[in-house]
Amino acid sequence: MEIKYSLDDFPVQDPQEEEFSASDLTWVKYGSSEHHVDDAALIPYDRVEAFISGECLNAEHPTRFHIERGRKREKGSLKEYKSDEYLLYRLYWCSFGPENYGEGGTILPSRRYRLNTRNRAARPQSMRGCTCHFAVKRLYARPSLALIIYHERRHVNKSGFICHGPLDRDAIGPGAKKVPYICSEIQQQTMSLIYLGVPEENVLQTHIEGIQRYCGSNPTVNSIASQYVQKLGMIIKRSTHELDLDDQASIRMWVEKNKKSVFFYQDSSETDPFILGIQTEWQLQQMIRFCHQSILACDSSFGISKLKYPLYTLLAFDSRRHALPVAWVITRTITKQDVAKWMKALVDRIHGVDSAWRIDGFIIDDPALEMEPIREIFCCPILFSLWRVRRSWLRNVMKKCGHIEVQREIFKCLGKIMYSIWTKENPMDAMEELFQDFVDQTDFIQYFKAFWLPKIEMWLGTIKSIPLASQESCGAIEGYHVKLKLKVYDDSHLGALQRVDWLVHKLTTELHSGYWLDLYADESGSFPSVKEEYIYSTSWHRAMQISDDAVTFDDKVHLFAKVRSQKDSSQERIVWNPGSEFALCDCPWSIQGNLCKHIIKVNMVCQHKKEYLPSLSYLSFQDYMLDLWKTPMDDSLSLDLSMAWATQMQDKIQRLVELITSGDVTKVINKLPLKWAGRKGRTSSGKPAADKKLQIQKSTAKKKSRKRRRLSRFK
Q: What's the one-letter identity of residue 16?
A: Q
Residue-level pLDDT at 631:
62
| C-alpha to C-alpha distances, 276 to 135, 273, 325, 330, 343, nearest whole angstrom | 39, 10, 15, 5, 12
Tell whether 592 and 633 lie within a shared domain: no
Examine residue 447 and state whether it is found in any structural domain, yes or no. yes
- Report DSSP state, residue 193: H
**For the packed helices 200-215 and 184-195, what is the interaxial angle rounded to 10 degrees?**
170
* Residue that terminates a domain, selected from 170, 200, 225: 170
Examine residue 711 and state whether it is found in any structural domain, yes or no. no
Examine residue 530 and state whether it is found in any structural domain, yes or no. no
Name, in order, each residue with C-beta under 8 angstroms of 111's C-beta and a sequence gap of 6 or more.
102, 170
What is the per-residue pLDDT across 137-193, written as a single tens digit (0 to 9) for each? 999 988 999 999 999 988 888 877 777 776 665 544 444 445 555 666 777 888 888
Which range marks the domain in which residue 369 is found? 247-385+469-514
Question: Strands, E, within 18-85: which ranges?
Answer: 28-30, 38-44, 65-72
User: Average pLDDT for residues 377-406, to the nearest whole number?
Assistant: 91
- Residue 367: CB atoms within 10 A of its CB come to 17
Q: Is the pLDDT of residue 671 over 80?
A: no
End-to-end CA distance of the chain: 33
Tell whether 263 and 353 lie within a shared domain: yes
Interatomic CA distance for residues 322 and 597, integer angstroms: 15
Buried-exposed string 567-583: b where 16+ CB fall within 10 A, e elsewhere? eeeeeebbbbbbbbbbb
Residue-level pLDDT at 634:
65
Tell whether 598 and 639 lie within a shared domain: no
Q: Is the pLDDT of residue 358 over 80?
A: yes
Lowest mean pLDDT among 136-140, 257-261, 644-648: 644-648
Q: Is the pLDDT of residue 468 over 80?
A: yes
Interatomic CA distance for residues 427 and 420, integer angstroms: 5
Examine residue 713 and state whether it is found in any structural domain, yes or no. no
Examine residue 324 and state whether it is found in any structural domain, yes or no. yes
Q: Alpha carbon 125 to chain centroid distance?
A: 24
Tell whether 477 and 346 lie within a shared domain: yes
- Provide the total of helices (H) and of strands (E) in the chain, helices listed first: 24, 18
Tell whether 35 and 119 lie within a shared domain: yes
Tell whether 478 and 445 lie within a shared domain: no
Interatomic CA distance for residues 228 and 82, integer angstroms: 52
Interatomic CA distance for residues 263 and 276, integer angstroms: 8
Q: Is the pLDDT of residue 282 over 50?
A: yes
Examine residue 484 and state whether it is found in any structural domain, yes or no. yes
Mean pLDDT over all residues of the chain? Answer: 81
* Residue that terminates a domain, selected from 136, 170, 204: 170
Tell whether 348 and 477 lie within a shared domain: yes
Note the pTM of the prediction, 2 decimals. Answer: 0.66
Q: Is the pLDDT of residue 43 over 70?
A: yes
Is residue 246 within 8 Å of 260, Cβ to Cβ?
A: no
Tell whether 20 and 75 lie within a shared domain: yes
Beta strands 572-576 and 560-564, pairing class: antiparallel
What is 407-466 written as a DSSP string?
A: HHHHHHHHHHHHHTTTTT--HHHHHHHHHHHTTT-HHHHHHHHHHTGGGHHHHHHHHHHS
Which phi and psi angles does 298 have, rounded to 5°? -140, 145
Structurally, the chain folds into a number of domains equal to: 6
Alpha helices in 177-329 (DSSP H): 184-195, 200-215, 219-238, 247-257, 281-291
Tell whether 488 and 634 lie within a shared domain: no
Tell whether 375 and 480 lie within a shared domain: yes
Examine residue 521 and state whether it is found in any structural domain, yes or no. no
Tell whether 146 and 74 lie within a shared domain: yes
Lowest mean pLDDT among 249-253, 334-338, 421-425, 547-551: 421-425
| C-alpha to C-alpha distances, 477 to 8, 370, 445, 712, nearest whole angstrom | 68, 20, 28, 44
Tell whether 432 and 445 lie within a shared domain: yes
Q: Compute the half-sphere exposure of residue 589: CA atoms within 13 Å on the CB side of its CA.
A: 18
User: Average pLDDT for residues 9-30, to the nearest whole number?
Assistant: 90
The C-alpha angle with vertex 693 and arms to 691 and 696, in degrees rounded to 5, equals 115
Interatomic CA distance for residues 577 and 558, integer angstroms: 8
* Residue that terminates a domain, selected from 613, 637, 666: 613
| C-alpha to C-alpha distances, 613 to 580, 608, 617, 711, nearest whole angstrom | 7, 10, 11, 59
Examine residue 519 and state whether it is found in any structural domain, yes or no. no
